[in-house]
C-alpha cells in the first residue's frame, strides 16, 4: 500500500448503450494531489467514464469509491447507491466542469458561485462571499461578479464555471473537455487557470484533446481506445509509447 | 333608454367580467403546473391519462364544457345547482385554461437544456431547489409571450359566461341590445374588452422587460 491517499477508486466499470459497449471493464484510481489526464479518440468512452464517476450516468457493472467510501456498486445487474445521507456526503468530494459550462444564465456570476455553498452546504454567507471574491480574483474575473454569463466570453464563462466548482471545496475536480467549446484564443486562458490549480496540487481528472497541455501538466495519463485503457503511465511514457493505436492517434492529430 | 343608463347597466357587468378573469387566472395558472407535471410524469399511466384529459379540454368548445360543469351535477347526480352558477363558471374556465397553460409550461420546461439539471445535480441541489431556483426562473421567461396570448384570449372568452346566463358584461350587453334594438351596447362592450386587453398587454410587456435582465 502506498502512503498517499486514494481519493477515487473505480473498479471493473462496464457500460453499454444498446448494443454498443462503450466501456469494457475499466479500473482506475486517483490519488491525492494528482493530475490525471484521460486522452483518446472520440467515442473511446472518456466522457462516459467521467459521467459515471460523477454519477450523472449509471453503469452496468463495477463499483465507485470516494475516499474509501462506496458510492455505488452493481450487483446482479442492479445499481446500488449509498444511502441518501451518505451519498450526499460522498458527492461533496467532487466537482465537475462541463464542456459547455452550464452556468445558470439567470444568475449573476457571483450568485452562480455562492448559491450552492450557501443553500446546499449551508455555510455562512459572509464567509462564502469573501471566498468567492478571492476565487474570482484568482480566475482574473474580479470585476465581473455582477455580470450575467451571457455578457461574458466563452473563456470567461468557463473560468466562472471552474470557480463555481471550486467554491464547494471539492477534493477532486473533474473536467469534461473544458476547452472543446472554445476557440483557440480563449482556450489558453482556461488552460492557464487549470495549470495554476495543478501547481497548487489540486487533485484533478481531465478529459481533454489538448495533447501538449495534457503532457505538460499531468502526473499520469490514461489513453483510452474503444472502451479500454490502452495505455497508462507518466506523460513521456505514454506519448513515446510504441503502441500502434497511440501512434495512430497522435499521427491523426498532427495531420488535422 | 338613454346612453348613461345603458353605460351604468353595462358597467355593473364589467365587475363580474373582471372577477371571472382574475379568479380564472388565480386558479388556472397553478393548476396548469399540476397538469404539466402529470403530463411529464415518468409513470406512463399518469402521463397518458393527463394527456387524454388535456386533449379533451383543448379539443372541445369551452362553451360546451361550461354547460357540462354547470348542469352535470344535476343530470348525473341529481344534486341541487342553485348557487352553483358562478362557481361552475370559475371551475369551467379554470380547468380549461389550466390545460392550455400546462402545455405552455411543458414546452417551456423542455426548452431548458439538460446541462442545467446536471450542473444543479453536481452542485448538490435537491429536486425542489433545482426546480425553484434554476428551472422555473428560466421557464417563466421563455413562456411569458405564450402566456400573454392566453391571457388576452381569456379576456374575450369571459363573454362565454353568457351561455350560463351569468350577469357578466356581455350577457347584459346582449340583453340591452335586443330590447332596445341598438348596436351601441356592443360598441361599449367592444371598447371595454379592447381597453382591458391594452392594459393586459402593457402589464405583460413590462413584466417581459423586467425578466429580460439576462
Cβ of A149 and B133 within 8 Å?
Answer: no
Kindly state whether B134 is in contact with chain A, defined as any CB-CB distance less than 8 angstroms.
Answer: yes
Task: Return the pLDDT at B81.
Answer: 83
Instruction: Give the dihedral sign, CA A156/A165/A193/A9.
Output: negative
User: How deeply is A188 buried, as exposed, middle or buried, from its count of CB atoms within 10 A (0-12, 13-18, 19+)?
Assistant: middle
Q: Cα B188 vs. chain centroid, distance in angstroms?
A: 24
Nearest to B122 among A54, A103, A149 (CB): A54
Cβ of A96 and B113 within 8 Å?
Answer: no
User: How deeply is B206 buried, as exposed, middle or buried, from its count of CB atoms within 10 A (0-12, 13-18, 19+)?
Assistant: exposed
Between CA B214 and CA B202 the distance in angstroms is 21
* Nearest CA-CA distance, residue A252 and chain B, Å: 30
Average pLDDT over chain B, rounded to whole? 94
Between CA B151 and CA B167 the distance in angstroms is 21
Task: Return the pLDDT at A1.
Answer: 45
Per-residue cell: B37: 407535471
3-class secondary structure, B111: coil
Please name every residue paired with A224 in a beta bridge, in sequence order, or none if there are none: A229
H/E element holding B169? helix B169-180
- Spans of all domains in chain A: 105-167
Per-residue cell: B145: 409571450
Count other C-beta atoms under 10 Å from residue A195's C-beta.
13
**Which range marks the domain in which residue B143 is found?**
3-211
Mean pLDDT of B118-144: 96
Q: Which residues of A touch B113 (CB under 8 A)?
A: 102
Cβ of A105 and B138 within 8 Å?
Answer: yes
Residue B109 has pLDDT above 80, yes or no: yes
Q: Across the 256 residues of chain A, what is the mean pLDDT of every consecutive 10-residue run? A: 79 95 95 96 93 96 95 94 93 95 97 96 95 95 96 96 97 96 91 95 95 94 95 94 90 68
Count of pairs with CB atoms under 8 A, one residue in A, one in B: 52
* Nearest CA-CA distance, residue B147 and chain A, Å: 20
H/E element holding A224? strand A220-225
Cβ of B118 and A168 within 8 Å?
Answer: no
Kindly state whether B124 is in contact with chain A, defined as any CB-CB distance less than 8 angstroms.
Answer: yes
Mean pLDDT of B140-144: 95
Nearest to B122 among A88, A95, A150 (CB): A95
Given 3-state DSSP classes, what are the helix, strand and coil percentages for chain A, each rounded to the nearest 5? Answer: 40, 30, 35
DSSP characters over B30-50: HHHHHHHHHHH-SSHHHHHHH
Number of domains in chain B: 1
Cβ of B125 and A95 within 8 Å?
Answer: no
Between CA A164 and CA A115 the distance in angstroms is 9
Q: Which residue has the cell 439539471?
A: B117
Task: Return the pLDDT at A256.
Answer: 56
In angstroms, what CA-CA distances link B136 with A15, B108, B111?
33, 9, 11
**Closest C-alpha among B162, B172, B153, B164 to residue B69:** B164
**Closest C-alpha among B89, B49, B52, B54 to residue B68:** B89
The two beta strands, A172-176 and A61-66, are unpaired
Count other C-beta atoms under 10 Å from residue B31's C-beta.
17
What is the CATH classification number for the domain harbouring B65?
Answer: 1.10.3720.10
User: How deeply is A104 buried, as exposed, middle or buried, from its count of CB atoms within 10 A (0-12, 13-18, 19+)?
Assistant: buried
Q: ipTM of this predicted complex?
A: 0.92
Q: What's the per-residue H, E or C state across A64-103?
A: EEECCEEEEEEECCEEEECCHHHHHHHHCCEEEECCCCCC
Between CA B73 and CA B85 the distance in angstroms is 11
N-to-C CA span, chain B: 55
Kindly state whether B117 is in contact with chain A, defined as any CB-CB distance less than 8 angstroms.
Answer: no
Which residue from B minimizes the CA distance to A87? Answer: B124
pLDDT band at B1 (very low <50, low <70, confident <90, very high): confident
Are A54 and A66 in contact by the 8 Å Cβ rule? The answer is no
Are A177 and A190 in contact by the 8 Å Cβ rule? The answer is no
The two beta strands, A220-225 and A35-39, are parallel
* Nearest CA-CA distance, residue B33 and chain A, Å: 21
The C-alpha angle with vertex A232 and arms to A228 and A234, in degrees rounded to 5, equals: 160
Amino acid at each position: 500500500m502506498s502512503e498517499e491517499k486514494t481519493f477515487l477508486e473505480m473498479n471493473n466499470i462496464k457500460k453499454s448503450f444498446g448494443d454498443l459497449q462503450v466501456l469494457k471493464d475499466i479500473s482506475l484510481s486517483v490519488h491525492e494531489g494528482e493530475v490525471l489526464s484521460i486522452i483518446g479518440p472520440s467515442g473511446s468512452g472518456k466522457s462516459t467514464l467521467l459521467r459515471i464517476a460523477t454519477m450523472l450516468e449509471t453503469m452496468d457493472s463495477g463499483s465507485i469509491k470516494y475516499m474509501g467510501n462506496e458510492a455505488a456498486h452493481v450487483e446482479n445487474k442492479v445499481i446500488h447507491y449509498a444511502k441518501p445521507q451518505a451519498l450526499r456526503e460522498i458527492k461533496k468530494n467532487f466537482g465537475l466542469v462541463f464542456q459547455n459550462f452550464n452556468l445558470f444564465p439567470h444568475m449573476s456570476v457571483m450568485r452562480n458561485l455562492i448559491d450552492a455553498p450557501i443553500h446546499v452546504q449551508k455555510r455562512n454567507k459572509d464567509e462564502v462571499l469573501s471566498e468567492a471574491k478571492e476565487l474570482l480574483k484568482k480566475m482574473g474575473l474580479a470585476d465581473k461578479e455582477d455580470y450575467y454569463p451571457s455578457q461574458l466570453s466563452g473563456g470567461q464563462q468557463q473560468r466562472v464555471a471552474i470557480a463555481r466548482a471550486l467554491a464547494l471545496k471539492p477534493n477532486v475536480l473533474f473536467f469534461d473537455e473544458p476547452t472543446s467549446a472554445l476557440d483557440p484564443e480563449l482556450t489558453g486562458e482556461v488552460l492557464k487557470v487549470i495549470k495554476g490549480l495543478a501547481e497548487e496540487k489540486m487533485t484533478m481528472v481531465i478529459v481533454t484533446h489538448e495533447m501538449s497541455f495534457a503532457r505538460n501538466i499531468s502526473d499520469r495519463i490514461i489513453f483510452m481506445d474503444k472502451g479500454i485503457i490502452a495505455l497508462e503511465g507518466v506523460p513521456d511514457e505514454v506519448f513515446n509509447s510504441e503502441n500502434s493505436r497511440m501512434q495512430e492517434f497522435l499521427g491523426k492529430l498532427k495531420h488535422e | 333608454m338613454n346612453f348613461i343608463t345603458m353605460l351604468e347597466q353595462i358597467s355593473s357587468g364589467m365587475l363580474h367580467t373582471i372577477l371571472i378573469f382574475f379568479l380564472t387566472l388565480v386558479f388556472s395558472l397553478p393548476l396548469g403546473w399540476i397538469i404539466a407535471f402529470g403530463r411529464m410524469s415518468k409513470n406512463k399511466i399518469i402521463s397518458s391519462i393527463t394527456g387524454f384529459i388535456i386533449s379533451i379540454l383543448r379539443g372541445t368548445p369551452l362553451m360546451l364544457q361550461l354547460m357540462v360543469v354547470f348542469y352535470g351535477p344535476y343530470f348525473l347526480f341529481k344534486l341541487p345547482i342553485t348557487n352553483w352558477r358562478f362557481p361552475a363558471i370559475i371551475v369551467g374556465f379554470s380547468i380549461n385554461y389550466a390545460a392550455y397553460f400546462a402545455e405552455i409550461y411543458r414546452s417551456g420546461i423542455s426548452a431548458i437544456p439538460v446541462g442545467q439539471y446536471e450542473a444543479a445535480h453536481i452542485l448538490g441541489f435537491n429536486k425542489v431547489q433545482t426546480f425553484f431556483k434554476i428551472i422555473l426562473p428560466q421557464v417563466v421567461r421563455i413562456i411569458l409571450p405564450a402566456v400573454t396570448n392566453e391571457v388576452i384570449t381569456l379576456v374575450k372568452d369571459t363573454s362565454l359566461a353568457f351561455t350560463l346566463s351569468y350577469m357578466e358584461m356581455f350577457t347584459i350587453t346582449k340583453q340591452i341590445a335586443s330590447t332596445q334594438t341598438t348596436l351601441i351596447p356592443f360598441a361599449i362592450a367592444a371598447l371595454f374588452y379592447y381597453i382591458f386587453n391594452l392594459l393586459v398587454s402593457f402589464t405583460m410587456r413590462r413584466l417581459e422587460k423586467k425578466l429580460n435582465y439576462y
